[in-house]
Amino acid sequence: MSVQAWTWILVGITFALYFGIAIWARAGSTKEFYVAGGGVSPLANGMATAADWMSAASFISMAGLISFMGYDGSVFLMGWTGGYVLLALLLAPYLRKFGKFTVPDFIGDRYYSNTARTVAVICALIVSFTYVAGQMRGVGIVFSQFLQVDINIGVIIGMSVVLVFAFLGGMKGITYTQVAQYCVLIFAFMVPAFFISMQMTGNPIPQIGMGGKVEGGAFLLDKLDTLHTQLGFNEYTDGTKSTWDVFAITLALMVGTAGLPHVIVRFFTVPKVKDARKSAGLALLFIAILYTTAPAIAVFARTNLIETVSETPYTDVPEWFKNWENTGLIAWSDKNNDGKIQYVAGSALDGKKPVYMAERGTHGERMISNANDGKNELYVDRDIMVLANPEIANLPNWVIALVAAGGLAAALSTAAGLLLVISTSISHDLIKKQIKPNISEKGELWAARISILVAIIIAGLFGIYPPGFVAAVVALAFGLAAASFFPAIILGIFDKRMNRQGAVTGMIVGITLMLFYMIRYKTGLIGVMDARPASEWWFGTSPEGFGTIAMIVNVVVSVVVSRLTAAPPEDVQEIVEHIRIPSGAGDASSH
């Protein structure tokens, strides 16, 4: 059976499962829509949290990033897993005890201010839309390759699927759909890893196989280092980033994780404070299965790619290469007319999107207009490494199709969670809390559903017309969360003296500074036509790591302003004292 036939079967089965769960778990109240009724078990919530967290970035892109970055890619592993330790210890139990539906709800009530609530809503929308752009594009990439449809059609199909289970079920439908999606995506990620690890090293456990020996007796990582140096790259196991930038990116990803609204809201769905802590621990365990496998996938994919295409005549490359070339995610330019694919360091297309011409080359390859003369060049989009890996390794067609189903599950689960945050921020924190406090529960539920519809249209437009910095969009979303939410939440829990003036000022300063830096050094829209070079980074900090600096500025501004202005009311200080003891919490409420 062909890959496409297997893909239609597996994607069809999984989508039918998602739709069935959405219909079964449809929400009948705002509490079910916002926090799944507050009765989700820690095990189910842990799996749903893991699926919510392991987005297209984790499933599709992370191993691809590590595959190309080598040692430097470890920042994603350390930052994104370390963030869950922060969540479990410093945030989840205390926020659950506070008993609110959303992060803006917590900030609005803790800082006794609708201004603070509105600023938090704006921050939530900026973070969520920045994050969701990558998810919708990931859906389009999977559909375009495996279902042989246009990438924009793929985005529209993905929008329609998410709309059904988010519109019907809210958090209740999304939670149980995400449990199923976690099972699909983790199975889809691990099966090819077992196959390829056994194929390359004789050990079926990829985490061990990565450090094992290959045919000929050499260690796999030593072999990859040799391949890299022969092609002019740095050794795979050596890093090029400065120690400070590694630290800054890791910390930004950690505190960004702890400040992401679509992750935090999951801990309002469990019955008790103890369950929130259990959920965070189980989520970390479920996430670790994928995150400890990703470096192995990266090593396998990088080795196979180099050995398959380097110095290979274009007429002899496997069919998968030409299939991905047709999607525009692989490109080759035969500038010296030798008909061979050369993959070497210093290619003008390294990290640069190809611009295609209408005509084909003499060998049938797609022609590129922005390639340098006299030098063969190869472009491989990092996002395809996980998806193409089973094809590169000649695995069975059903395994290739399974990866497609897993990639869709990862992208759709996170997109649904983000869209729910956007919808609740508008319907609950803006309409219910500020614009129309006397709105009926039915009216609020419809406002939430209409908000989801509008949000998914905007998210789809992000997928069809992605911003120029979409390659790093997820890391930047974490920087925005770190710069805005994390200080307000952590100081709101542990600093009784923190008041609304300090929190509001800190959030505005933090997210403004992060947006300025992100736009200036990623898109070049502020002051210059092109993004500024790395040599001009402030303190040698990349845009992905600047969330750490923006967060520190937020904390300093918040503390200073709060000490120069009036203390919070006594009743607010008593609430802070109360939530520090993570026991005896009641149900999540909308008051």
Contact 76, 275 (CB under 8 A): no
Is residue 327 over pLDDT 70? Answer: yes
Q: Residue 35: its pLDDT value, please?
A: 56
Q: Residue 554: its pLDDT value, please?
A: 94
CA dihedral over 137, 141, 147, 153, signed as positive or negative: positive
The Cα–Cα gap between 382 and 62 comes to 9
The Cα–Cα gap between 437 and 377 comes to 61
Q: Residue 87: its pLDDT value, please?
A: 76
Q: Residue 556: its pLDDT value, please?
A: 95
Contact 257, 489 (CB under 8 A): no
> What is this structure's pTM?
0.77
Q: Residue 529: its pLDDT value, please?
A: 45
Contact 58, 263 (CB under 8 A): no
Q: Residue 553: its pLDDT value, please?
A: 94
Q: Residue 169: its pLDDT value, please?
A: 58
The residues, ordered by sequence, that sit 6+ positions from 364 with a Cβ below 8 Å of its Cβ are 314, 322
- In this predicted structure, which of 5-9, 339-343, 366-370, 488-492 has the lowest mean pLDDT? 366-370
Is residue 460 over pLDDT 60? Answer: yes
pLDDT band at 101 (very low <50, low <70, confident <90, very high): low
501-517 tens-digit pLDDT = 999 999 899 989 988 88
In DSSP notation, 45-71 reads: HHHHHHHHHS-HIIIIIIHHHHHHHGG
The Cα–Cα gap between 187 and 181 comes to 10
Q: Residue 164: its pLDDT value, please?
A: 73
Q: Residue 551: its pLDDT value, please?
A: 93
pLDDT band at 585 (very low <50, low <70, confident <90, very high): very low
b/e 517-531 (16+ beta carbons within 10 angstroms → b): bbbbbbeeeeeeeeb
Is residue 348 over pLDDT 60? Answer: no
Contact 513, 483 (CB under 8 A): yes
Q: Return the higher-pLDDT residue of 451 and 531.
A: 451
Share of the chain above pLDDT 90, in %: 5
Q: Return the higher-pLDDT residue of 188 and 337.
A: 188
Contact 188, 199 (CB under 8 A): no
Share of the chain above pLDDT 70, in %: 85
The runs of H, that is alpha helices, within 333-440 are 385-392, 397-424
The Cα–Cα gap between 266 and 175 comes to 9
The residues, ordered by sequence, that sit 6+ positions from 247 with a Cβ below 8 Å of its Cβ are 545, 548
**Kind and range of the H or E run holding 217:** none
Q: Return the higher-pLDDT residue of 375 and 400.
A: 400
28-66 tens-digit pLDDT = 556 666 555 556 788 888 888 888 777 766 777 778 778
Is residue 586 over pLDDT 50? Answer: no
Q: Residue 215: its pLDDT value, please?
A: 79
Is residue 321 over pLDDT 50? Answer: yes
The Cα–Cα gap between 234 and 222 comes to 13
Is residue 100 over pLDDT 80? Answer: no
Q: Return the higher-pLDDT residue of 8 and 264.
A: 8
pLDDT band at 466 (very low <50, low <70, confident <90, very high): low
Looking at every residue in the chain, the average pLDDT score rounds to 78
- Which residues are registered as beta bridge partners of 332? 378
